[in-house]
Amino acid sequence: MNGDQMMRAHSASLPGPTFDNPAWVTPGPLRNARVAIVTSAALYVSGDDPFTATDTSFRVIDRTRRDLVMGHWSPNFDSVGVKLDINVVYPIDRLEELAANGVIGSVAPRHISFAGNQPDDVATIRYDSGPAAAALLRQDGVDVVILTPV
Amino acid sequence: MSVLAHIFEAAGIATIVLSSIRAMTEKVAPPRALHCEFPLGRPLGIPNDPQFQHDVLQKAFVLLDETQGPVLVDYPVVIEAESEAVACALPPRFDPDALPAVDEARGIRKAYDRAKEKRGVTAVGRAISADDVPSALEALQRVIDGEPWSEVLPVPNTTALCHDIRTYYEEAALELVDGPAPGGRAMEDWFFEKTEAGQLVLAARAAIRDSGAKFPVWFYMTPGHR
């Protein structure tokens, strides 16, 4: 069993919270939409506070920054992909190209990174840091979020 | 990620999840998900392949046209994590009197420095700096030789210590790899199976475990399946 197979089997066995009456947003045209990336890659701007081993908070990444470090504590993640090309986790350059070509309306000024450290009931992210991240994105006029897991 | 999708959607923001664990995505059922069976840690699939990354994004954005959910669509291409160690030639031994891992770590320092300069950042430094890697390897050897880990190691956080050693090697190896860029897990396999330092970390982990240390002290020194 390689590391990916182990992680997939382990993750699939975890309890998944359920959402009754889930919300559904019908977005406007993509060509007018402001798009943000939210990742669980534990990325942070070099020099910012690193993630602690049980960190449930998030870091804000300015649209212009590319000097990013992956701060996962678990040794079970492949961190080489992101070193080869940040876009394989955080496709910021791809969004800039889509905005330049008019496919999307604009790139959000701020993007968000979590470390994915959560208790099984995901209470912290559900009731605290998740809504705080949503408020920040709303403040920036974000219409669409693309979520990238690590 | 799927939990966040529900939260954002409730706040009025449309979401698309790039799913990596299909069973979990099915359970949490976010409004829109594109399942990408790619190596974990590479949700856009292939580093330095803008065309492929754009195709993933295009297939994700198409899901915004759906009128009801939850929507879970599979990306048509599957990429498996490599199970072969990357081909990465190490510099020849320089100092026959030094511990092999220490000599090896010194030998790749220039490659590490080049990698750091090229990328502008390094992930080494959680517990020790690149300068400290050789002495940390010496300390791990002393643990293997029977000395107590809590007295010998430069920091008590074995997870952070081993992270820095492995990351030092992986970043250096980015400058040493011959051939195509390593796929998911190929660099991990190289470190633990082909390098003196990787072998040393594995042996030190076993020694710490056998000394009766608590689970988190030794377990997270390497990936769980090692």
A107: β partners:
A35
Which member of A25, A67, A81 has the closest CB to residue B41? A81
CA of B82: which chain A residue's CA is closest?
A2
Report pLDDT for B128.
97
Q: What is the pLDDT of residue B126?
A: 94
Instruction: Write down the pLDDT at residue A13.
Output: 82
Report yes or no on A63 lying in a domain: yes
CB contact under 8 A, B45 and A138: no
A16 part of a folded domain: no
- Res A116: pLDDT: 76
Name which of B35, B163, B120 is nearest A77 in CA terms. B163
Strand, helix or coil for residue A146: strand
Please give, rounded to a whole number of angstroms, the shortest distance from the CA of A69 to a CA of chain B.
6
For residue B192, the one-letter residue type is F
Cα-based angle A14, A114, B62 (whole degrees, multiple of 5): 85
Say yes or no for a CB contact (<8 Å) between A88 and B174: no
What's the pLDDT score for residue A33? Answer: 98
- Taking the C-alpha atoms of residue A43 and residue A86, their distance in angstroms, rounded to an integer, is 10
List chain B residues with CB under 8 Å of A114.
Answer: 4
* A36-58 pLDDT per residue, tens: 999 999 999 999 999 988 888 99
B47 contacts on A by Cβ (under 8 Å): 81, 84-85, 87-88
With 0-12 / 13-18 / 19 or more C-beta atoms within 10 angstroms meaning exposed / middle / buried, residue A69 is buried
- 3-state percent breakdown (helix, strand, coil) of chain A, nearest 5: 30, 20, 50
CA A141 to chain centre: 17
Give residue A96's domain range. Answer: 29-148
Instruction: Please check whether residue A144 lies inside any domain of the structure.
Output: yes
Tokens for A128?
């605290």
State the average pLDDT for chain B.
94
Contact indicator for B64, A35 with CB cutoff of 8 Å: no
C-alpha to C-alpha distances, B226 to A24, A76, B138, nearest whole angstrom: 42, 10, 21
pLDDT at A121: 67
Domains held by chain A: number: 1
Best B44, B170, B217, B219 member to test A by mutation, with max A CBs in 10 Å, is B44
For residue B213, the model assigns a pLDDT of 96
Please indicate, yes or no, if residue A22 is contained in any of the structural domains: no
Per-residue pLDDT of chain A (150 residues; tens, 9 = 90+): 778 888 888 888 887 788 888 999 999 999 999 999 999 999 999 999 999 888 889 999 999 999 999 999 888 888 899 999 999 999 999 999 999 999 999 999 999 999 977 766 678 888 889 999 999 999 999 999 999 998
Residue A136 domain flag: yes
Torsion angles phi and psi, residue A30, rounded to 5 = -60, -35
Establish if A6 belongs to a structural domain. Answer: no
The per-residue pLDDT for A143 is 98
CB contact under 8 A, A89 and B44: yes
A80 is a domain residue: yes
Check A143 against B23: CB less than 8 A apart: no
Instruction: Using CA coordinates, name the residue in chain A closest to B5.
Output: A147
Residues of B in Cβ contact (< 8 Å) with A30: 61, 64
Give the helix, strand, coil percentages of chain B, each rounded to 5. 50, 5, 40
- State whether B42 and A26 contact (CB < 8 Å): no
Please report whether residue A55 resides in a domain.
yes
For residue range B96-132, list pLDDT tens digits in order: 899 999 999 999 999 999 999 999 999 999 999 999 9
